[in-house]
Amino acid sequence: MALRAYAAPVTPAPTAADEEVRRGTAYGIAAYGIWGLFPMYFHSLAPSGPWEILAHRILWTLVLCALILTVRRDWAWLRPTLAHRRLTLGLVLAAFLIAGNWGVYVLAVLSGRTYEAALGYFLNPIVTVFLGVLVLGERLRPGQWLAVGVGGVAAVYLTVAGGIIPWIPLVLALSFALYGLTKKRVGARLTAMQSLAAETLVLGPVAAGILAWVAMSGATTLGRHGAAHTGLLLSAGVVTAVPLLFFAAAARRVPLVTIGLLQFMTPGLQLLTGVFLLGEHVSPALWVGFAIVWVALVILTVDSVRAARAGAAARSATSTSTAPGTPVA
């Protein structure tokens, strides 16, 4: 019997769309990975206090955004933005929400409670879904309701087991969820760089006032603890803007479900950094709280993946039924 030659299966060459998704995924991993390592950066800024760090972060981010927009000659958006009252008010609200989020996060890291900050960002998707119902009147799927309910159980358990309200996780989760909601209500009229520039422009006078207050109280650390510390403090703008630009590049290229899965990298890395690199102690009760939150996140993730697949299948069926030559009822 003649032997038939074996032909290796031909792997189709990746399309341009595939390359874009791969590139977007890499951008997303870079963004969430940098955010996940933020505790190491802010921890290295000691002995600077949280107020001084927050002020420097705002001012140097504003300087960096202004330089980039000037090089790009991209200031034409500013005047119509200021003339649009609703948009301006939305940006002001978003600016103070993100400033509060930044300030509490830095406080958590400097006080040895990075694990609580990580818990806050684990809770954030659940709080975001709940706000969608409460504020936007969105209808949730059963899986989403279950995830919100389990998340509520986690919050109650942490309060009872800890004996105090876990304010750091709750403030971080709520402030960031409200920040996202505000940006959604305002509308995607500005690019990531324009939006960051506008928000830090709003906060600039506040940051300058904070630095003046720190200086008058004699607590200024800039230039007093070596060149390395000064360089790290002045790099706050780059540290803030780079992952945001990576995220914006990822969001344009990958599905929302992929972004939703990648976002768990940040609190996961923050938790590992706090426990294993910064030597923070997490009590057994808090680990139980984390476990309950993770159950909620698994439920939410599975529900999101299923919904995305069902939506893709429905769009594919619609496309097929309306293809040329196909009868339409």
- Residue ranges in the chain assigned as alpha helix (H): 16-36, 38-43, 50-72, 78-83, 85-110, 114-134, 142-162, 167-186, 192-216, 226-234, 236-251, 256-262, 265-272, 284-321
The rounded distance, in Å, linking the Cα atoms of 169 and 271 is 13
State yes or no: pLDDT of 37 exceeds 50: yes
Structure tokens at 236: 């706050």
State yes or no: pLDDT of 8 exceeds 70: no
Q: Between 161 and 64, whose confidence is greater?
A: 64
Mean of pLDDT over the chain: 87
Structure tokens at 271: 């938790």
Give the confidence band of 254 by pLDDT, cuts at 50, 70, 90: confident
Give the confidence band of 328 by pLDDT, cuts at 50, 70, 90: very low
State yes or no: pLDDT of 158 exceeds 70: yes
Structure tokens at 190: 């500005």
Q: What is the pLDDT of residue 323?
A: 44
Give the confidence band of 61 by pLDDT, cuts at 50, 70, 90: very high
State yes or no: pLDDT of 165 exceeds 80: yes
State yes or no: pLDDT of 47 exceeds 70: yes
Q: Between 3 and 270, whose confidence is greater?
A: 270
Of 47-51, 76-80, 142-146, 249-253, the least confident: 249-253
Q: What is the pLDDT of residue 327?
A: 36
Q: What is the pLDDT of residue 251?
A: 81
Q: What is the pLDDT of residue 325?
A: 46
Give the confidence band of 11 by pLDDT, cuts at 50, 70, 90: low
Of 180-194, 240-254, 315-329, the least confident: 315-329
- Residue ranges in 73-111 assigned as alpha helix (H): 78-83, 85-110
Structure tokens at 91: 């940006």
| Close Cβ partners of 246 (under 8 Å, ≥ 6 residues apart) | 27, 28, 30, 31, 34
State yes or no: pLDDT of 188 exceeds 50: yes
How much of the chain, in percent, has pLDDT values that exceed 90?
56
The rounded distance, in Å, linking the Cα atoms of 212 and 294 is 43
Average pLDDT over residues 88-106: 94
The rounded distance, in Å, linking the Cα atoms of 197 and 184 is 17
Q: What is the pLDDT of residue 63?
A: 96
State yes or no: pLDDT of 58 exceeds 50: yes
Q: Between 122 and 134, whose confidence is greater?
A: 122
Sign of CA dihedral 43, 44, 45, 48: positive
Q: Helix or strand or coil: residue 6? A: coil
Give the confidence band of 10 by pLDDT, cuts at 50, 70, 90: low
Of 1-5, 37-41, 157-161, 278-282, the least confident: 1-5
CB-based contact 85:138 (threshold 8 Å): no
Q: What is the pLDDT of residue 187?
A: 64
The domain limits of the chain are: 17-222+229-310
Give the confidence band of 221 by pLDDT, cuts at 50, 70, 90: very high
pLDDT tens figures, 191-211: 888 989 999 999 999 999 999
Q: Between 230 and 13, whose confidence is greater?
A: 230
What is the pTM assigned to this prediction?
0.86
User: How far lies 247's CA from each of 31, 260, 262, 319, in Å?
Assistant: 5, 12, 11, 31
Average pLDDT over residues 265-269: 93
